[in-house]
Amino acid sequence: MQSLEAFAGGKLAALEAGSLRRTLRPTRRFADAIVERDGRRLVSFSCNDYLNLSQHPAVRAAAAEAALNYGAGAAASRLVTGDHPLLGDLEKRLARLKGTEAACLFGSGYMANLGVIPTFAGPGDLILVDALAHACIWAGAKLSGARVIAFVHNDMADLERILVAERAGVRHVLVATDGVFSMDGDLAPLDRLSDLCTRHDAWLLSDDAHGVGVLGEGRGSAALFPQAHIPLQMGTLSKALGSFGGYLCGSQAVVDLLKTRARTVVYATGLPPASAAAALAALDLIEAEPELTALPLARARAFTEAVGLPPAQSPIVPVIIGSATAALAASTRLEAEGFLVVAIRPPTVPDGTARLRLAFSAAHTETDIARLAGLVRQILAEVA
Ligand SMILES: *Cc1c(COP(=O)(O)O)cnc(C)c1O
């Protein structure tokens, strides 16, 4: 027991010394991107609730009604008794949105990648992962037992070089990328990835956690590349859809195999009915109001233009500061001005690229965006 305490204490001290220790800050969230911390109200640019749907009356009512009618939890794996009919309804809607034959729900986006990747790749296979892909893609790849190689971020020449060198020596190849990169906000070139995968018989997985609901009239980043063939389209219910859970959209055979083999489906409790009901209500709103889905990107573009940054490609805008200490100081200063903009530090992002990560929402006002842009311009001038 003493060695455990010493281990944890020593680790914490080292993280503290590098400005890398993280602590929780209790936060209440309200409509219109308002959050409350330590009794203070702030305008949040750090929630992934791009359409403000987690606070929408219809979405909240759907979740509440499902909880009242069907209970708070699913009580078992879907393969036992946890397959509430709302889950199948939601899968049909997700497949329709993505233009695939079928969909499989998971307990979260993280659990989706932990379940999907090892179902389709294992020892003797190769997984090629974009260097900036999300942590749960890496975790799924590691868990699979396949060999894993990183390719340079969005660098198709590097990916092709690896495919040419390695393809013949392995059984299957899976190429995994974020569709919208979570800490940089840029898009994967899904058309070129799809071409390379077709030519080298590799399977493309795109994680569109930050694309669904906010790009391609809500259908996600794949809709921006209509020629691309993406057989494994993963995403989350937890961001623009305002609920909780994850999914994989694909062919019927792919989905049927997941439902019988993916360990995070088989050995985990099904999604609560309330989460499915909330996501269904969110999809109703997204399909009824495609103009709503365009607002977060329009807000992000207004900000990048005002600051003089390259035009935003998604609702996520990184403001690279450099050191973790300076990024924390910038975040503290914005908080004093009434804005919540969380600093993102290594290991979430590469060393030396600690940053402010801004997530724009349909709920942000022009006034807030203009004032924040002015403050960020000052911060950038000082760290330059
Ligand atoms: C947030 C995120 C996930 C995880 O989704 P959860 O539903 O929050 O578990 C997966 N991939 C990417 C790219 C993400 O940004």
Whichever domain contains 215, its CATH number is 3.40.640.10
Same domain, 190 and 257: yes
Instruction: Give the whole-angstrom CA distance, residue 211 versus residue 298.
Output: 14
Q: Closest Cα to residue 188, out of 170, 166, 165, 211?
A: 211
62 falls within a domain: no
Q: Is the CB of 238 under 6 A from ligand 1?
A: yes
Same domain, 44 and 155: no
Same domain, 191 and 264: yes
Same domain, 250 and 107: yes
125 falls within a domain: yes
Same domain, 234 and 329: no
pLDDT for position 192? 98
Q: Is the CB of 182 under 6 A from ligand 1?
A: yes
Domain housing 261: 74-271
8 falls within a domain: no
Q: Is the CB of 84 under 6 A from ligand 1?
A: no
Same domain, 45 and 99: no
Q: Is the CB of 273 under 6 A from ligand 1?
A: no
Instruction: Give the whole-angstrom CA distance, residue 384 versus residue 381.
Output: 5
Q: Closest Cα to residue 286, out of 59, 101, 29?
A: 59
Nearest CA to ligand 1 atom 14: 209
Which of 236, 271, 306 finishes a domain? 271
Q: Is the CB of 236 under 6 A from ligand 1?
A: yes
324 falls within a domain: yes
pLDDT for position 233? 98
Same domain, 245 and 308: no
Same domain, 81 and 219: yes
Which of 239, 271, 303 finishes a domain? 271
276 falls within a domain: no
Counted domains in the chain: 2
Same domain, 112 and 228: yes
Task: For residue 178, report the distance from its CA to the centre of ligand 1, in Å.
Answer: 10
12 falls within a domain: no
Q: Which residues are catalytic?
A: 182, 210, 239
Same domain, 379 and 345: yes
Task: For residue 239, report the distance from its CA to the centre of ligand 1, in Å.
Answer: 8
Task: For residue 314, report the distance from its CA to the centre of ligand 1, in Å.
Answer: 16
> Tens-of-pLDDT digits for all 384 residues of the chain?
799 999 999 999 999 998 888 899 999 999 999 999 999 999 999 999 999 999 999 999 999 999 999 999 999 999 999 999 999 999 999 999 999 999 999 999 999 999 999 999 999 999 999 999 999 999 999 999 999 999 999 999 999 999 999 999 999 999 999 999 999 999 999 999 999 999 999 999 999 999 999 999 999 999 999 999 999 999 999 999 999 999 999 999 999 999 999 999 999 999 999 999 999 999 999 999 999 999 999 999 999 999 999 999 999 999 999 999 999 999 999 999 999 999 999 988 999 999 999 999 999 999 999 999 999 999 999 988
Residue corresponding to tokens 């998604």: 314
69 falls within a domain: no
Q: Is the CB of 264 under 6 A from ligand 1?
A: no
pLDDT for position 384? 82
Query: Which residue of 50, 136, 210 sits with most ligand 1 atoms within 8 Å of its CB, as the best mutation to test the pocket?
Result: 136
Same domain, 197 and 148: yes
pLDDT for position 46? 97
Secondary structure in 3-state letters for the chain: CHHHHHHHHHHHHHHHHCCCCCCCCCCEECCCCEEEECCEEEEECCCCCCCCHHHCHHHHHHHHHHHHHHCCCCCCEHHHHHCCHHHHHHHHHHHHHHCCCEEEEECCHHHHHHHHHHHHCCCCCEEEEECCCCHHHHHHHHHHCCEEEEECCCCHHHHHHHHHHHHHHCCCEEEEEECECCCCCCECCHHHHHHHHHHCCEEEEEECCCCCCCCHHHCCHHHHCCCCCCCEEEEECCCCCCCCCEEEEECHHHHHHHHHHCHHHHCCECCCHHHHHHHHHHHHHHHHCHHHHCHHHHHHHHHHHHHCCCCCCCCEEEEEEECHHHHHHHHHHHHHCCEECCEECCCCCCCCCEEEEEECCCCCCHHHHHHHHHHHHHHHHHHC
Residue corresponding to tokens 């694309």: 211
Which of 271, 306, 333 finishes a domain? 271
Same domain, 234 and 145: yes
Task: For residue 281, report the distance from its CA to the centre of ligand 1, in Å.
Answer: 20
pLDDT for position 356? 97
Could you check whether the bond before residue 296 is cis, i.e. omega within 30 degrees of 0? Answer: no
| CATH number of the domain to which 376 belongs | 3.90.1150.10
Angle at 43 between CA 302 and CA 185, to 5 degrees: 45
pLDDT for position 38? 92
279 falls within a domain: no
